[in-house]
Amino acid sequence: MIQIAVLGYGTVGSGVVEVIETNKTDINKKAAEDLSVKYILDLRDFPGDPYAHKVVHDYNVILNDPEVTVICETMGGTKPAYDFTKQALLQGKSVCTSNKELVAAHGPELIRIAKENHCNYLFEASVGGGIPIIRPLNYSLTAEKIDGITGILNGTTNYILTKMDKEGAGFEEVLKEAQEKGYAERNPEADVEGYDACRKIAILSSLMSGKNVRYEDIYTEGITKITAADFKYAKQMDKSIKLLAMSRDTEKGFFAMVAPFMISREHPLYSVNGVFNAVYVHGNMLGDSMYYGRGAGKLPTASAVVSDVVDCARHQGKTIMCFWDEENVDVTDLSSAERKFFVRVRDDQREAAMAAFGSLVEVNVGIVKEFAFMTQVMSEKEFNEKIEKAGGCLNRIRIMA
Amino acid sequence: MIQIAVLGYGTVGSGVVEVIETNKTDINKKAAEDLSVKYILDLRDFPGDPYAHKVVHDYNVILNDPEVTVICETMGGTKPAYDFTKQALLQGKSVCTSNKELVAAHGPELIRIAKENHCNYLFEASVGGGIPIIRPLNYSLTAEKIDGITGILNGTTNYILTKMDKEGAGFEEVLKEAQEKGYAERNPEADVEGYDACRKIAILSSLMSGKNVRYEDIYTEGITKITAADFKYAKQMDKSIKLLAMSRDTEKGFFAMVAPFMISREHPLYSVNGVFNAVYVHGNMLGDSMYYGRGAGKLPTASAVVSDVVDCARHQGKTIMCFWDEENVDVTDLSSAERKFFVRVRDDQREAAMAAFGSLVEVNVGIVKEFAFMTQVMSEKEFNEKIEKAGGCLNRIRIMA
């Protein structure tokens, strides 16, 4: 019997309890042990809830109960999750988490502590909700040198961009609708500014490199400047606009960024719409592979947490291998990264833009008073210099190769 | 040090040697042991090959060498692969295979023998080439009750169908071109008749159910009857035609089949083109997820074999859990499976078809002398009765819901 404590009885936490109950027979078979939720930690009480009697308010009850060997941390945030997790691991209790903020901020330290205490810190649910991606990176692609990861890692922004694409609507309008439907938070900053995707690509990039990619080092640009007009141009070029989180391990350095990109219809990420997420991975032997599914939501995310619990049950007293050292990766400045750009300038800057950029491809969708074009491949530095020289820039969007 | 023997120095076998050599540093780190190829078994000699000195012709050399703990079986076919595999497992040597025929035919027995001898029989490379799919099913989706798998599991047929779709070409013409380019075998039967996809869905279905789905019990229909005209109609309906291998665990029974299906543009499998493969999995908590990548090829397939070797290195003396019992699944006859159908009948049977099918949707692309339509949802049995009654059927293709 594996006795579990769930920290935080919110959306994901209650999902964990539901998944364990609903799929009991299958899960216990796969874990080769019966899983049982012994405690639920929450500040609130839940009168009438069938699990009300398991709710405790004092974390020490859990910490001091030697029967509890696995803890599901579904609280979110770094405080008090960091302290709680550390205390548990130091006592040899494994922790399975959906908390991307905590994993991105303290992952390698907590992984080390788990190892030192012969237990596990697992975080399949922290990226891509229910999509298996952490385990494929750690267990499946072990014969690969992975040199590129590109993800659509945030459901809210992908929902908004998909709506803008399909309906020609503006950002503010779609954001409002998404908030009404519960697909976007009241304070949408973490999503629309790319901060959430940034935490997630920091985690994936760290697993790719084996060292620590600090999320603070990742260039992050949100989708708030994307307009209906941008989508008109995109459509004209048979492209869409997606918020991509990516990292590349190249000879020029290790690049990582979050930004809106124009992406062609042929690319598998083009068809990832609505609240779906996908992670596109490039390995030197396998080439491209992609992992697709629901990137958020109560049951998908909880399913990933419980799959970690099953892994803990299968590896009691043993730490599952995970390469994420505390040494920081030297994330390279974007200035030498090369790509094409889509640019819109005021029409009175047409001559200046043509002079600055030389060879370019004009894109015309009948919007007057502006001149839109696609550049040749150039470095970010070169692009910034040229657009500065041209002047009158209305917007610019990177183009995915 | 893990000493390895590779059985069969063909495409995949030589790929295994190449992957181990190319990614040595990463692989050895992830295996926490150095991997070393000690023997290569082949009937031929390979003078000049850098590994020529490792080639042996007598399997007993390998069997009797206690240093060899992992065997990569990349020979294909069941004879002598079955005997070789069994002998190795009985001696406690783990076997990692790309051989779908053998896994589909004798998987559960070999898995049991591995378990009895505290070693492993692993087969990540047997389905989907380099796409991680066996391990995600066994290790990642452990909190799910998986009730549906739909795959594009054969690169040759997907290449042919994609060409027919994009270029409006006929089957024979594209097959010939595929053979010239090496994308199709000289004897293409195993691919175009769906036998290869059938073996693969048998393996995935067995892992889904935990019992044995016999490939002989799976209804299998190839793509040889698909014509350029069918694609014209498909396009008119905003669909494409794909060879799908699928299984469904439903209240009505366990269904499994391989057949060409019309599939809508909105479905993620629609965009899986050319030699790419994808597996679409439905779980009761996670909903849909998809795994996409190169389903064949030397290095992708070899990469999957080597990832199994790494898993063996990580689990020495321990059998990794795999639920695939020898008990056979009672695969339900398709007659009660329900779906829509696309049908083409001779134009002189128009009235009869309308009388037999009642409500239907005509599809017109200007091909004279025939009447094409989409039926309502009905069982296969009902469909067969109605089309028999209508008469004059030119072709019928199932439609993916």
Contact B311 A130 (CB under 8 A): no
Residue A136 belongs to some domain of the structure = no
| pLDDT level of residue B68 (50, 70, 90 thresholds) | very high
Name the B residues in 116-155 with CB < 8 Å from any A CB.
124, 130-132, 135-136, 139-145
Alpha-carbon distance A54 to A41, whole Å?
8
Question: Which of A32, A294, A310 is nearest residue B287 as measured by Cβ atoms?
Answer: A294
A389 CB-near residues (< 8 Å, 6+ apart): A352, A356
pLDDT higher than 90, residue A325: yes
Alpha-carbon distance B207 to A166, whole Å?
38
pLDDT higher than 90, residue A189: yes
| pLDDT level of residue A311 (50, 70, 90 thresholds) | very high
Q: What are the pLDDT digits (tens) for A329-377? A: 999 999 999 999 999 999 999 999 999 999 999 999 999 999 999 999 9
Alpha-carbon distance A283 to A141, whole Å?
8
Residue B41 belongs to some domain of the structure = yes
Alpha-carbon distance B6 to B97, whole Å?
10
Alpha-carbon distance A11 to B386, whole Å?
49
Alpha-carbon distance B286 to A303, whole Å?
7
Chain A nearest C-alpha distance from B295 (Å): 10
Count of residues in chain B: 401
pLDDT higher than 90, residue B17: yes
Average pLDDT, chain B: 97
Under DSSP, is residue B149 helix (H, G, I), strand (E, B) or coil?
strand
Residue A303 belongs to some domain of the structure = yes
Q: Yes or no: say if A299 and A18 are a contact pair by the CB < 8 Å rule.
A: yes
Domain count within chain B? 3
Average pLDDT over residues A265-293: 96
A307 contact residues in B (CB cutoff 8 A)? 139-143
Task: Give me Rg for the CA atoms of chain A.
Answer: 23
Q: What is the dihedral of CA A93, A95, A96, A97, to 10 degrees?
A: 160
pLDDT higher than 90, residue B182: no
**CATH number of the domain within which B93 lies:** 3.40.50.720
Q: Yes or no: say if B239 and B263 are a contact pair by the CB < 8 Å rule.
A: yes
Under DSSP, is residue A298 helix (H, G, I), strand (E, B) or coil?
helix
Contact A31 B142 (CB under 8 A): yes
Alpha-carbon distance A97 to A94, whole Å?
10
Chain B nearest C-alpha distance from A11 (Å): 14
Q: What are the pLDDT digits (tens) for B328-372? A: 999 999 999 999 999 999 999 999 999 999 999 999 999 999 999
Is A200 a catalytic site residue? Answer: yes
Average pLDDT over residues A379-397: 96
Which DSSP letter does residue A32 get? T
Chain A nearest C-alpha distance from B275 (Å): 12
Contact B26 A286 (CB under 8 A): no
- How far is residue A111 from each of residues A205, A245, A273, B158, measured CA to CA in Å? 16, 24, 34, 42
pLDDT of residue B353: 97
**CATH number of the domain within which A244 lies:** 3.30.360.10
Residue A181 belongs to some domain of the structure = yes
Does the beta carbon of B318 lie under 8 angstroms from any beta carbon of chain A? no
Q: Yes or no: say if B234 and B367 are a contact pair by the CB < 8 Å rule.
A: no
B289 and B368 fall within a common domain: no
A188 and A261 fall within a common domain: yes
DSSP sequence for B320-368: PP----SSBP-BPPGGG-EEEEEEEEEGGGHHHHHHHH-SEEE--SS-T
| pLDDT level of residue B16 (50, 70, 90 thresholds) | very high
Structure tokens at A383: 């692009």
A66 and A197 fall within a common domain: no
Which of B138, B144, B146 to probe by mutation at the A interface, max A CB count within 10 Å? B144
pLDDT of residue A183: 87
A311 contact residues in B (CB cutoff 8 A)? 139, 142
B124 and B154 fall within a common domain: no
Phi, psi at A220, each rounded to 5°: -130, 125
B115 and B222 fall within a common domain: no
* pTM (predicted TM-score): 0.96
Residue B173 belongs to some domain of the structure = yes
Chain B nearest C-alpha distance from A42 (Å): 24
**Checking DSSP bridges between strand A219-220 and strand A146-152, what pairing results, if any?**
unpaired
Domain encompassing residue A209: 145-294
Question: Which of B142, B284, B300 is nearest residue A310 as measured by Cβ atoms?
Answer: B142
Minimal-distance CA residue of chain A relative to B134: A140
Minimal-distance CA residue of chain A relative to B290: A292
Contact A307 B140 (CB under 8 A): yes
Residue A140 belongs to some domain of the structure = no
Question: Which of B285, B291, B307 is nearest residue A143 as measured by Cβ atoms?
Answer: B307
Structure tokens at B3: 């000493």
B177 and B122 fall within a common domain: no
B125 and B141 fall within a common domain: no
Q: Yes or no: say if A81 and A98 are a contact pair by the CB < 8 Å rule.
A: no
Residue B373 belongs to some domain of the structure = yes
pLDDT of residue B49: 96
A163 and A246 fall within a common domain: yes
A272 and A160 fall within a common domain: yes
Chain A nearest C-alpha distance from B152 (Å): 14
pLDDT of residue B75: 96
Q: Yes or no: say if A8 and A74 are a contact pair by the CB < 8 Å rule.
A: yes
Which H or E run includes A17?
Answer: helix A11-22
Phi, psi at B309, each rounded to 5°: -60, -45
Task: Single out the residue in A236, A264, A294 at which a domain terminates.
Answer: A294
B386 and B238 fall within a common domain: no
Contact A287 B304 (CB under 8 A): no
Does the beta carbon of B286 lie under 8 angstroms from any beta carbon of chain A? yes
ipTM summary value: 0.95
pLDDT of residue B136: 97
A125 and A66 fall within a common domain: yes
pLDDT of residue A390: 94
**Checking DSSP bridges between strand A121-122 and strand A94-97, what pairing results, if any?**
parallel
Question: Which of A130, A135, A271 is nearest residue B286 as measured by Cβ atoms?
Answer: A130
Task: Single out the residue in B314, B347, B367 at which a domain terminates.
Answer: B314
Task: Single out the residue in B263, B294, B325 at which a domain terminates.
Answer: B294
Q: What are the pLDDT digits (tens) for B280-317? A: 999 999 999 999 999 889 999 999 999 999 999 999 99
Minimal-distance CA residue of chain A relative to B301: A286
**CATH number of the domain within which B344 lies:** 3.30.70.120
Does the beta carbon of B112 lie under 8 angstroms from any beta carbon of chain A? no
pLDDT of residue B202: 98
Minimal-distance CA residue of chain B relative to A310: B142
**For a pLDDT cut of 70, what percent of chain B falls above it?**
100
Structure tokens at B101: 């025929």
**Checking DSSP bridges between strand B94-97 and strand B68-73, what pairing results, if any?**
parallel
Point out which residues pair with A345 in neighbouring strands: A371, A393
Q: What are the pLDDT digits (tens) for B25-41? A: 999 999 999 999 999 99
Average pLDDT over residues A181-192: 93
A160 and A288 fall within a common domain: yes
Residue A95 belongs to some domain of the structure = yes
| pLDDT level of residue A182 (50, 70, 90 thresholds) | confident
Q: Yes or no: say if A254 and A190 are a contact pair by the CB < 8 Å rule.
A: no
Does the beta carbon of B316 lie under 8 angstroms from any beta carbon of chain A? no
